[in-house]
């Protein structure tokens, strides 16, 4: 058991509280194949970044405006496809426990996609949310997490990030925050603690607004 304390939590969405892997696989494999890329290799890096940033990694010599055009089409396709979108195990109880505590969604999805996926997963949308439209740089840049902390009114060191991806964990680290890694992708990328899913996290409050996390770790 590991115990962490914080004043606020910053939550990634895909792979962290919402399991959207089925949709991501369908859309990104199709895109990779259309561009002559090895889909298996592409899938190793698509998680965590905004679409245009992933495309820039996969096709480094491609004009960025083409990546932004494809990203708009990708977002529309993903927003129209909710087949297989479900909550990560433990996410409903985890989000219910946070209802009255400071927390924010910090996601590389845009507003429509984040609302669609949270709704499909049956999870409440946090009042504070940092989406693709909110930032000028994609994860692994820390901008999103720093904006989330600022909107909640807390210093970075008072926040804990929940993330599943290499890019997201790097962003949390760069923001000066502790990171709880969630799921099979997380452990290899240096989070402070790792859990298989959110059933391993218990949220408590100290009565003075502080948040205590009781975590059954897997690594």
Q: Which pLDDT tens digit goes with each residue over 150-159?
A: 999 999 999 9
Query: What ranges make up the beta strands (E) of the chain?
Result: 2-6, 8-11, 18-19, 86-87, 103-106, 128-130, 159-163, 178-182, 193-195, 201-205, 211-215
Of the given ranges (57-61, 166-170, 191-195, 203-207), which has the lowest mean pLDDT?
203-207
Q: Please indicate whether residue 4 or residue 219 has the higher confidence score (pLDDT).
A: 4
pLDDT band at 175 (very low <50, low <70, confident <90, very high): very high
Catalytic residues: 12, 14
Q: Which residues of 102-138 are buried (b: 16+ CB within 10 A; e: fewer)?
A: bbbbbbbbbeebbebbbebbebeebebbbbbebbeeb
* Averaged pLDDT score across all residues of the chain: 93
Tens-place pLDDT, residues 8-52: 999 999 999 999 989 988 998 989 999 999 988 888 887 778 888
pLDDT digits (tens, 9 = 90+) for 76-87: 999 999 999 999
pLDDT of res. 41:
86
State residue 105's pLDDT score: 98
Whether the pLDDT of residue 219 is over 70: the answer is: no
So what's the pLDDT on residue 218? Answer: 59
- What is the pLDDT at residue 211? 96
Contacts of 127 (CB under 8 A, 6+ apart): none
Q: At 100, which helix (H) or strand (E)?
A: none
């Amino acid at each position: 058991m590991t115990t962490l304390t914080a004043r606020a939590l910053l939550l990634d969405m895909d792979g962290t509280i919402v399991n959207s892997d089925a949709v991501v696989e369908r859309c990104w494999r199709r895109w990779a194949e259309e561009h002559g890329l090895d889909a298996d290799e592409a899938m190793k890096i698509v998680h965590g970044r905004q679409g245009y940033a992933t495309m820039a990694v996969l096709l480094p010599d491609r004009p960025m405006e083409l990546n932004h055009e494809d990203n708009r089409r990708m977002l529309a396709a993903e927003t129209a496809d909710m087949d297989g979108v479900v909550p990560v195990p433990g996410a409903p109880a985890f989000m219910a426990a946070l209802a009255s505590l400071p927390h924010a969604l910090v996601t590389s999805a845009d507003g429509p996609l984040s609302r669609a996926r949270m709704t499909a997963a049956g999870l409440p949308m946090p009042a504070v949310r940092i989406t693709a439209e909110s930032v000028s740089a994609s994860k692994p840049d820390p901008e999103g997490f720093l904006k989330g902390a600022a909107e909640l009114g807390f210093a970075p060191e008072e926040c804990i990030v929940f993330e599943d991806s290499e890019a997201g964990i790097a962003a949390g680290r760069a923001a000066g925050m502790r990171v709880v890694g969630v799921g099979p992708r997380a452990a290899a990328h240096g989070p402070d603690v790792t859990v298989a899913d959110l059933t391993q996290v218990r949220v408590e409050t100290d009565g003075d607004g502080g948040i205590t996390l009781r975590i059954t770790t897997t690594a």
